[in-house]
Chains A and B, each alone.
Chain A
């Protein structure tokens, strides 16, 4: 592993996230923790059905579709439950909760992959930057989805929007990368465009409340 490259990647990904997390969650650290816990719990709960399906079905498109549906159902279901339990109600609280969710995902997915990747040394910083962009986009997506779920606490149909939006996000990314085999920058560009649409929609929905 190439030490300096990994250190730069960690700083690029985690420094802005931790600064934002500290800033928004300084008075409500519980929300950051609950957000992080939500992602981990949603992952643990769907590990068995996810792996069972992959053992039984070999078709790549079906596996991507099934994984995307599970992610949408479990993550948004868990997010809805936790948002209600923690009585998350205002914009800042939603932002903190979404940040916690995104930071936990980055810590579990991104941190070990950079730390343990045997290919890091053969790749330059530019090759690894899509992963950094991916994390920023993922955190933005989690914040947007948290806002939509906040709205769902008053109007249940927005929970359907959150589940479908999350499912389609994973579906688009999975098909673009594994089936269409698009270059990684194009995949990240596609996912970023979709997430921006989602973020604008989330702002539109939340503006009706606040």
Chain B
């Protein structure tokens, strides 16, 4: 009997760019978009500390067409991130048992999304309220 020679197949280097893994890649990329948005806000805070001229320059950037286009993309990425984040959330928790009953993951996701939607509405109302 000849010795067994198991054959190891090569890994597809582009696995992350193909289904079913593409959705995962997009989800992770959306996280990077959120980080970019945080940097833009941080830039605003720093500009505010450095004086009126710096702050006006930052506002000027926000009003530019390039910035508007960027913000539309960032908003889409944010919505995707919220959706996928709450879908993965029940996976990161121990199985929830309340009153002796297992709470289905879909209900935890729905609860998270409801809280996020309420947060969006509160922030939107606050923004409208403080608008000059």
Asked whether A and B interact, the reply is no
Residue positions of B touching A, CB distance < 8 A = none
Residue positions of A touching B, CB distance < 8 A = none
